[in-house]
């Protein structure tokens, strides 16, 4: 057995990975499952902090093909793709265009984030008309390229809105504009502190009521909602209050197995950042759930929660660093470089623990490659044992 010395102590590597080759993997049938996907940076680009992102497009699209091959949908240009944390609107727009074309070519399902990040993010307060116009531009792009829109929470709207009525009016306007049903996204402040008080109140009960009112007034234009509050009880409460036919997509990277499994009164579908590194295993688990085997589903996904909670520990918004790190170790890209330099956002001990947990789950298709890369990272940081 091989032992590697990590900052937390010696670790004996798992010898065999999970056998999760995609083959002709079909999409799950009992749940709609999206993986929010990361972008791959161009490691040789001469960029400085604050410069537009330099993206390795071929590697970025190859990772999406990997997810589609396992039967997952791709949630594109979302928080996991570093929207507002290295990827600006120009880069996100190009990502949407390229990924939507790739989805069409391979028959993959895609939904794309629609927001307002072409507006200045310098603390100035836009008008509500400017917020609506920015949303409309992005909505038109997603629809033009055949992607299902996800109306993302907007930092600009959080600054511009004076209360719940401004959220109700803005979302009503956008839903009237949408050609097809959209997914609404409530991203909590643990993912983006600028979204504190979204829906017009810091009181989550009041905010929930406003959120549900938007849906109740336009149920024909809402395919579903994605809730990213890391609060299972609140998600279940919202799920049970949705109009018939409106899906709940869990964005809870702490409690996803129980929320997807559901109870006698319903279940959540999934739109999760953790399904980026867990893609093959997650898709397999949900196909087990398709057969009615809830215990088998939980047996596969419950052990992954420790890794997910580790990656999403506070500051939660830096979970993308762990996601890209695991993609590098798994061989999906040749380097551990991120747009905006975000590879520096987590410590070596944090990354080493992520490696240990992922290896223990059998997530690395080539454990020897992952070990080699982990040792190289340790060496760069001076850990030569």
- CB distance 158 to 128 below 8 Å: no
Neighbours of 92 (CB within 10 A): 27
- Give the pLDDT score at 384: 56
pLDDT tens sequence across 160-200: 999 999 999 999 999 999 999 999 999 889 889 999 999 99
User: What's the pLDDT score for residue 1?
Assistant: 77
Q: What is the pLDDT of residue 23?
A: 60
189's tokens: 């402040």
Structure tokens at 59: 């590697």
54 three-class SS:
coil
Cα distance between residue 215 and residue 237, in whole Å: 15
- Which pLDDT belongs to residue 37? 98
Name 291's Cβ contacts closer than 8 Å, sequence gap at least 6: none
Q: What is the full DSSP assignment across 358-375?
A: HHHHT--SSHHHHHHHHH
Mean pLDDT, to the nearest integer, of 345-364? 96
| Contacts of residue 179, Cβ cutoff 8 Å, sequence gap at least 6 | 143
- pLDDT tens figures, 248-273: 999 999 999 999 999 999 999 999 99
Q: Tokens 């570093």: give the residue.
A: 82
Label residue 375 by pLDDT band (50, 70, 90). Answer: very high
* Structure confidence by residue, pLDDT tens digits, 201-242: 999 999 999 999 999 999 999 999 998 999 999 999 999 999
Q: What are the phi and psi torsion angles at 39 (to 5°)?
A: -105, 150
Average pLDDT over residues 289-317: 97
Over 60: is that where the pLDDT of 385 sits? no
User: Which residue stretches of the chain are H helix?
Assistant: 57-69, 89-106, 128-144, 155-160, 164-177, 204-217, 232-240, 256-261, 279-290, 294-301, 305-311, 319-329, 348-361, 367-380
């Amino acid at each position: 057995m091989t032992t590697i010395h990590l900052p937390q102590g010696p670790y004996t590597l798992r010898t065999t990975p999970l056998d999760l080759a995609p083959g002709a993997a079909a999409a799950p049938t009992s749940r709609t499952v999206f993986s929010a996907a990361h972008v791959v940076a161009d490691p040789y680009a001469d960029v400085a902090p604050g410069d537009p992102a330099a993206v390795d497009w071929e590697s970025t699209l190859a990772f999406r093909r990997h997810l589609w091959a396992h039967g997952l949908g791709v949630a594109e240009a979302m928080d996991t793709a570093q929207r507002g944390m290295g990827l600006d609107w120009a880069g996100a727009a190009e990502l949407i265009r390229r990924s939507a074309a790739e989805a069409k070519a391979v028959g993959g399902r895609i939904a794309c984030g629609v927001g307002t990040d072409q507006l200045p993010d310098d603390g100035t307060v836009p008008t509500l008309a400017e917020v609506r116009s920015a949303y409309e531009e992005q909505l038109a792009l997603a629809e033009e390229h055949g992607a299902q829109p996800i109306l993302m929470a907007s930092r600009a709207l959080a600054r511009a809105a004076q209360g719940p009525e401004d959220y109700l009016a803005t979302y009503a306007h956008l839903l009237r504009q949408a050609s097809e049903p959209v997914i609404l996204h409530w991203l909590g402040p643990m993912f983006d502190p600028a979204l504190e008080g979204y829906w017009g109140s810091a009181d989550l009960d009041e905010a929930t009521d406003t959120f549900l009112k938007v849906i109740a007034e336009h149920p024909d234009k809402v395919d579903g909602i994605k809730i990213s509050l890391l609060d299972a009880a609140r998600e279940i409460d919202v799920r049970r209050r949705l109009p018939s036919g409106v899906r709940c997509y869990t964005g809870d990277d702490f409690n996803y197995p129980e929320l997807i499994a559901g109870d006698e009164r319903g279940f959540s579908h999934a739109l999760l950042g953790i399904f980026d590194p867990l893609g093959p295993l997650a898709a397999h688990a949900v196909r087990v759930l398709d057969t009615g085997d809830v215990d088998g589903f939980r047996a596969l996904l419950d052990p992954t929660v420790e890794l997910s909670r580790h990656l999403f520990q506070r500051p939660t918004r830096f979970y993308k660093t762990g996601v890209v790190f695991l993609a590098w170790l798994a061989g999906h890209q040749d380097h551990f470089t991120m747009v905006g330099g975000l590879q520096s956002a987590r410590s070596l001990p944090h990354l080493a623990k992520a490696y240990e947990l992922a290896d223990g789950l059998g997530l690395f298709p080539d454990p020897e490659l992952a070990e080699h890369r982990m040792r190289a990272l340790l060496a760069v940081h001076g850990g030569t044992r």
